[in-house]
């Protein structure tokens, strides 16, 4: 079989590009797996409802004036499903799941997190105005996923 010289150049060039792209993908995958995310906080999903911060989820005030909200995302419910917080104060949401992957989004804000079983997701937001904000699960978690919602009620600061 006789292949023209220019066809050979293009075949070698295409093969070289494929090798270059494949090696770039492999090198990046190895580099990323060697450096897992830092500051990852884990909890035991088996004992989540028995002891610790998430056994009795709710709103807690810190000595510095900030507010921490501990929540659990379980099949089709957020616990607690109604959260009352003050306006104008940094609110830190800490949320985890004992069962499956969930989403945590506060509609109308930039709070959006993936909630994985055994891991603590954290987001901080300051609500400047009082009102009601809807919490939704934006990761499909089962047949009643569309019913999984909660409410953040932001009350005026005193």
Decide if 127 contacts 91 (C-beta within 8 A): yes
Tell me the mean pLDDT in the region 83-105.
94
Alpha-carbon distance values, 46 to 81, 115, 154 (Å): 21, 16, 32
CATH of the domain at 149: 2.60.40.420
Tell me the mean pLDDT in the region 62-82.
92
Decide if 120 contacts 41 (C-beta within 8 A): yes
Q: Is residue 135 part of a domain?
A: yes
DSSP one-letter string for 14-56:
HHHHHHHHHHHHHHHHHHHHTSPPSS--B--GGGTTTSSTTTS
Q: Is residue 133 part of a domain?
A: yes
DSSP secondary structure code for residue 115 in this structure:
E
Tell me the mean pLDDT in the region 23-32.
85
pLDDT of amino acid 21: 95
Q: Is the pTM of this model over 0.85?
A: no
- Same domain assignment for residues 20 and 57: no
- Same domain assignment for residues 150 and 82: yes
Q: Percentage of the chain surpassing pLDDT 70?
A: 94
User: Across the chain, what does the average pLDDT equal?
Assistant: 90
pLDDT digits (tens, 9 = 90+) for 78-93: 999 999 999 999 999 9
Q: Which of 37, 33, 111, 13 lies closest to 71 in space, CA to CA?
A: 111
Domain residue limits at 137: 45-155
pLDDT of amino acid 68: 95
pLDDT of amino acid 64: 84
């Amino acid at each position: 079989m006789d292949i023209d010289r220019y066809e050979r150049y293009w075949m070698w060039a295409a093969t070289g590009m494929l090798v270059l792209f494949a090696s770039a993908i492999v090198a990046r995958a190895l580099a990323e797996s060697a450096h897992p995310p830092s500051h990852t906080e884990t909890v035991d999903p088996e004992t989540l409802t028995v002891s610790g911060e998430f056994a009795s989820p709710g709103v807690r005030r810190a000595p510095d004036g900030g507010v921490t909200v501990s929540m659990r995302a379980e099949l089709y419910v957020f616990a607690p499903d109604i959260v009352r917080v003050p306006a104008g104060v940094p609110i830190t949401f800490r949320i985890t799941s004992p069962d499956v992957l969930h989403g945590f989004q506060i509609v109308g804000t930039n709070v959006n997190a993936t909630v994985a079983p055994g891991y603590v997701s954290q987001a901080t937001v300051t609500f400047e105005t009082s009102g009601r904000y809807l919490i939704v699960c934006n990761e499909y978690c089962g047949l009643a996923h569309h019913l999984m919602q909660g409410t953040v009620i932001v009350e005026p600061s005193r």
